[in-house]
Amino acid sequence: MARTRRGRIVSTGLLMALVIGGLVATNYLRPTGRPDSEILGTTPIRRVVVIMKENHAFDNYFGTFPGVDGIPRAVSLPDGRGGSVSPHWINMNWTPDLPHSRTAMIESYHSGSNDLFAAVAESQAYGLGNASMGYYDRRQLGYYWSLAENYTIADRYFHSMLGPTVPNRLFSFAGTNDGLESNAIKLATISSPTIFGQLQSRGISWRYYYSPRVLVAPLPTYFPEVASRPDMMARVVPMDELSKDLSSGNLAQVVYVDPSEDFSISEHPPEDVTVGEAWTKALMDAIMSSSSWSSTAIFLTWDESGGFYDHAPPPQVDHWGYGFRVPMIVVSPYARRGFVDHDTMDHTSILKFIADNWQLPYLTEREARAGNLTTAFEFMAPSGIAARVSLASGEVAPAASMELLKKSSKRISSGMEHNSLQFIRLQKVEA
């Protein structure tokens, strides 16, 4: 995402007008009581939870994970200053933010050579080239690595286009970026239909939980299909509602969790990645401790690669991409245990799984052609793994996980607070 914290952000005056006019969901519109009657799917999965974090490439998080298509040996890329830089372990828990616009990614891709990450980053500021080639491992990301060991990790999962956050997230619930190539987006202007409209029309319950720090409105409200209907807007709710729904047994059948506007929990550089990982663990623990766990599939992924090096050239299926690889971990009692999925997929594969499970039509040709996440499951022989995987720093007890989720969704890592705040600025979108 851009340092100006998305060109899509509009003025405070418009925000107030939207609230008064009813475009932004208010509490009195929110459904109460249990969610809609459940519509059974074609698999044992009755609930899908999509957790999409921010700005890390596959090699940046899992490039040295055993059994995956990881970082090749003896890689060295030009740094644009006459030198070169090789992949290396990051000996701290954060890096600077890197250039990750569409232009920067196309240049890094370099017609499939994937060899200009360092040069593109270094052209923005001295030292960024070295940062772009860094990677984390189990020493920082023990919980994520444990999830990958106990469930399924996909090593051919790409973000949907060469470009930043917003258009990639649009692909995840609309199957298209609607022509958008940057983060500059205005309210209620995206004409494409969404998975939310499909679910609503079929009576399948859904919720979209957004960051408590969102400055104007969450992404679904940029679609008139959602913004024009109070009954759908009522399902777009602040992150605080997630812990309430879990504790009351009201988790919807399809859930999108979007922490993107709170850097400290989304893992967007320059934040401490262990803070975001701890928040994810608290959420995972809460889901695994809930009554919904036995029939739930969780898709944990990252919206785009954030300018970090990844060695695998993305297939170019159309004008937009794919983008580079990002992590995808499938967590479910039915997920294959310790499995590395090598099938080629992207964010529209999430849509395809939801569509196939509830027999919905595909939204776009891109979705229809996407790889299917069903390869990560063994529906005839569930593993039954219900125990939480602990962080190296210690287990979070089930009773405490919900409270930690509430607290951590609101906090910023104290050591990095100034780094977040300098990027979060309310700006007006230019016409």
Q: What is the token pair recorded at 354? A: 């939801």
**Nearest C-alpha neighbor of 72 from the set 311, 342, 308:** 311
Domain count within the chain: 1
Residue 325 phi, psi dihedral angles, 5° rounding: -70, 145
Q: What is the token pair recorded at 32? A: 């109460």
Q: What angle do CA 74, 79, 83 make, to 5 degrees?
A: 75
Residue 131 phi, psi dihedral angles, 5° rounding: -65, -35
List the CATH number of the domain containing 333: 3.40.720.10
* pLDDT on residue 158: 99
Is residue 262 a part of any domain in this protein?
A: yes
User: Where is 345: in which H helix or E strand?
Assistant: strand 345-346
Alpha-carbon torsion (358, 350, 161, 278), positive or negative = positive
Is residue 2 a part of any domain in this protein?
A: no
Is residue 430 a part of any domain in this protein?
A: no
Is residue 7 a part of any domain in this protein?
A: no
Is residue 407 a part of any domain in this protein?
A: yes
Across 170-323, the runs of DSSP E, i.e. the strands, are 206-210, 236-238, 254-258, 296-302
Is residue 68 a part of any domain in this protein?
A: yes
Query: What torsion, rounded to 10 degrees, do the Cα atoms 24, 28, 34, 36 define?
Result: -50
Q: By residue range, what is the domain housing residue 212?
A: 12-421
Which band of pLDDT confidence, cut at 50, 70 and 90, is reported for residue 184? confident
Is residue 431 a part of any domain in this protein?
A: no
Average pLDDT of every residue of the chain: 84
For residue 44, pLDDT over 80 is answered with yes
Is residue 225 a part of any domain in this protein?
A: yes
Compute how many other C-beta atoms are within 10 angstroms of the C-beta atom of residue 318.
Answer: 12
Alpha-carbon torsion (26, 407, 279, 332), positive or negative = negative
Mean pLDDT for 344-368 is 98
pLDDT digits (tens, 9 = 90+) for 194-218: 999 999 999 999 999 998 665 556 8
Q: What is the token pair recorded at 39? A: 């519509």
End-to-end alpha carbon distance in the chain: 20
- What's the CA gap between 37 and 196, in Å, rounded? 16
- What's the CA gap between 260 and 302, in Å, rounded? 10
Q: What is the token pair recorded at 400? A: 């405490």
Across 92-225, the runs of DSSP E, i.e. the strands, are 134-135, 152-154, 157-158, 206-210
Name residues whose C-beta falls within 8 Å of residue 215's C-beta, 6 or more positions apart in sequence: 5, 9, 15, 261, 424, 426
Higher pLDDT: 171 or 413? It is 171
For residue 373, pLDDT over 70 is answered with yes
pLDDT digits (tens, 9 = 90+) for 243-281: 999 999 999 999 999 999 898 899 999 999 999 999 999
